[in-house]
Structure 1
Amino acid sequence: MHASIRTLRRRRAPAGEESRGKRRPYGSLRLSRSERARRAWPIARDHDGVAHRAQLRQAGVSRADVRSEVAAGRWRSLGRHTVRIHASTTGRARLWRAVWESGPGARLDGVSALLADGLTGFSPDAIDVTVPAANHAHALAGVRLHRPRSAPEVVSAGIPRVRPDIAAIRGALWAHSERQAALIICLAVQQGLVEPGRLMAAAPVTKSGRGAFVRTIVTDVCDGSHSLGELDFARLRRSRGLPTPSRQAVRVLPDGRVYLDVYWAEHGLVVEIDGGHHTLALEPVRDALRQNDLTLTGDRVLRIPLLGLRLEPDKFLDQVERGLGLAHPLGAARQGEQHPARGA
């Protein structure tokens, strides 16, 4: 009786039981090459060619199985947690690896989070990853770690990442230059990755430093207001000593009455300040029609994107100055002297 019980207890599991996902005892036979591939490839497919070792173990692929595949050169170890399964991985595989290897609670942040959301037209020099300050973090080549006291809200679908509006603001704050900061904000809005209202709410409230600049850019891009641009242009115009333009200039064009942002009637020069909304939907078409109508009536039109007043004010004001000089009858003859209109 006792012998038969011991025999039953020592009876090996039925064939195929391991393939049903039950964990195999330590030291048991390894899976076949084809079975490893069958279990690992769906995981790697969902993670752009890579897999987390914990996910592989949950699928019944043991540490010994992983070592065998790595030794054979079919898989590649990319760190403590990341294994490359597919020979050809996508750029997003780097993002998965950065999150998995940086520490518990890690999530993409800044521009890297926006890249995971589909951002195009921007190539960062490092992957930004945030790890909560209370968690242990691991430095990784090509990854820029951030350790905030309170971690921002995370989007868990797909690669763990910071919410797009927060990511856009933080990406702009961490940018290498104001030009790069403005580009990040513009791309995030233009590509529909973040709602303007949420971006406005997330913008930093500060009166100095990069935060003040970012707040200004967010307002320019999201608000679509002309008045802010016109006030800034008036300030820059006065600093240059340029003449006062016509006030509340109104012109009648084939499509009806239009209000010109800045108009020097005596010089036949129009300056249009284009806010962020001028790049949306059919606005470029309407802008082109209006500019063409103005040109056909004898005026010249200079267009200044509102961002241009932030990033290249001197270059745009140089163009306005040249436009006024060319319109002046003595402008060509007085090159090299003080602009005839300055100080008027």
Structure 2
Amino acid sequence: MTETWQDLAARQEGVLSRATLARLGVSRSFVRNQLRARRWSQRTHSVLTTTTGPLSREQLQWVGVAHAGPTAMVGGLTAAGRHGLAGWHRETVTVLVDDELSFDAVDGIRFVRTRRSPLLLRSPRPGLPTCRLEPALLMFAADEAHERTALGAVVAGVQQRLTTAERLAEWTRLLRPLRRAPRIREVLGDVGNGSHSMGEVDVARLCRAWGIVPPRRQTRRRDRSGRVRFTDAEWDLPDGRTLVLEVDGEVHLDLMAYGSDVRRQRRLTTPSRVVIRCTTHELRREPLEVVSDLLALGVPRIAA
């Protein structure tokens, strides 16, 4: 059965390229009449929609891919979001292209060129052409200006159980050369050993740098109210007590979140379990302060 423009429009959120319409045998005069009657809208010089009014986010992604050509696909955090990554939304849509030609700017869309094979990158999922999750995260991490944001997205993919540290490590090899690859592999090693956030990765890095025994991570505990908690880092001290370090990120600056964290700390504390806290800022900018306090509380160094 021959596909019609109506079939394609239904599958692509009403987004059609002029080249595709011509391939389907739709005449220029028919297209021109639809535009004049304002039943359709011109979105770029080469892309139309069979709807009018503001574009939905799904339509914007289709417009970007249709505008950039048959090998284009959504990538970066846009693709990661389509694979289920939560908490990393960006308004601007990222579209990967392998064409060396220039593209007209499109509001709300960022075109990123890559020399990597579209066949390697593209997800087999039907529908909107989308980059696989692992290369989408890693290529974002390589391109992002701020290293902590870059690495945080990679960690989030594992923490949210969308991928594994092993799969991401393998993709760092497939994507060579990849900017920040050594740092990404280091972080993936920590994630593979139990780190679930960049704060926990910072703790592991601090322990290596200062020769401190690495902690247990994400230990399951039940607090006095009966609620199950997972602690960031724990050490067994020589005197038989357990030291728990909880790492506060930026979200903890919120007053309600702070109150919840204080209550959590209080309910996890027992006569044999000491709970202390630090901030991600301290781990990155004032590590000696944290190290000094950990050693003073009895955390052992690695034996020489």
The reply to whether TM is greater than 0.5 is: yes
Q: Would you say the 8 A contact 1:103–1:138 is kept in 2? A: no
Structure 1 residue 315, shift from structure 2 partner: 5.3
The answer on 1:143 being equivalent to 2:110 is: yes
Q: Which structure 2 residues correspond to residues 301-340 of structure 1 after superposition, within 5 A? A: 301-302=275-276, 308=280, 312-314=283-285, 318=289, 321=292
- In 2, Cα distance between the equivalents of 1:58 and 1:114? 32
- In 1, Cα distance between the equivalents of 2:122 and 2:209? 42
The answer on 1:300 being equivalent to 2:265 is: no
Specify the alignment match of 1:178 in structure 2.
147
Q: Would you say the 8 A contact 1:113–1:161 is kept in 2? A: yes
Structure 1 residue 154, shift from structure 2 partner: 1.8
Specify the alignment match of 1:80 in structure 2.
45
The answer on 1:234 being equivalent to 2:202 is: no
Q: Which structure 2 residues correspond to residues 1-344 of structure 1 after superposition, within 5 A? A: 42-57=7-22, 61-87=26-52, 89-124=55-90, 126-132=92-98, 136-141=101-106, 142-148=109-115, 150-151=117-118, 152-156=120-124, 157-203=126-172, 210-224=180-194, 232-237=205-210, 261-263=234-236, 270-272=243-245, 295-302=269-276, 308=280, 312-314=283-285, 318=289, 321=292
> What's the secondary structure of 1:155's corresponding residue?
coil
CA RMSD of aligned residues (A): 4.6
Specify the alignment match of 2:225 in structure 1.
none
Q: Would you say the 8 A contact 2:206–2:287 is kept in 1? A: no
- In 2, Cα distance between the equivalents of 1:233 and 1:269? 19
> What's the secondary structure of 1:262's corresponding residue?
strand
**Alpha carbons of 1:40 and 1:195: their partners in 2 closer, same or farther (altered >3 Å)?**
same
Which AA in structure 2 matches 1:80? H
Which AA in structure 2 matches 1:147? T
Deviation per CA, 1:132-155: give whole Å up to 9, x if none. Answer: 35x645243432321316444322
- In 1, Cα distance between the equivalents of 2:38 and 2:290? 61
Q: Would you say the 8 A contact 2:17–2:67 is kept in 1? A: no
Higher mean displacement: 39-48 or 92-101: 39-48
Deviation per CA, 1:29-87: give whole Å up to 9, x if none. Answer: xxxxxxxxxx6554333223322334444555422122112122221111233212223
> What's the secondary structure of 2:16's corresponding residue?
strand
Which AA in structure 2 matches 1:159? L
- In 1, Cα distance between the equivalents of 2:2 and 2:37? 24
Q: Would you say the 8 A contact 1:52–1:81 is kept in 2? A: yes
**Alpha carbons of 1:124 and 1:273: their partners in 2 closer, same or farther (altered >3 Å)?**
same
TM-score by length of 2: 0.64
**Alpha carbons of 1:220 and 1:139: their partners in 2 closer, same or farther (altered >3 Å)?**
farther
- In 1, Cα distance between the equivalents of 2:272 and 2:192? 33
- In 2, Cα distance between the equivalents of 1:321 and 1:267? 20
Which AA in structure 2 matches 1:48? E
> What's the secondary structure of 1:171's corresponding residue?
helix
Q: Would you say the 8 A contact 2:75–2:95 is kept in 1? A: yes
Higher mean displacement: 171-180 or 44-53: 44-53
> What's the secondary structure of 1:161's corresponding residue?
coil
- In 1, Cα distance between the equivalents of 2:130 and 2:140? 13
**Alpha carbons of 1:304 and 1:148: their partners in 2 closer, same or farther (altered >3 Å)?**
farther
Structure 1 residue 192, shift from structure 2 partner: 3.9
**Alpha carbons of 1:196 and 1:322: their partners in 2 closer, same or farther (altered >3 Å)?**
closer
Which structure has the larger Rg? 1
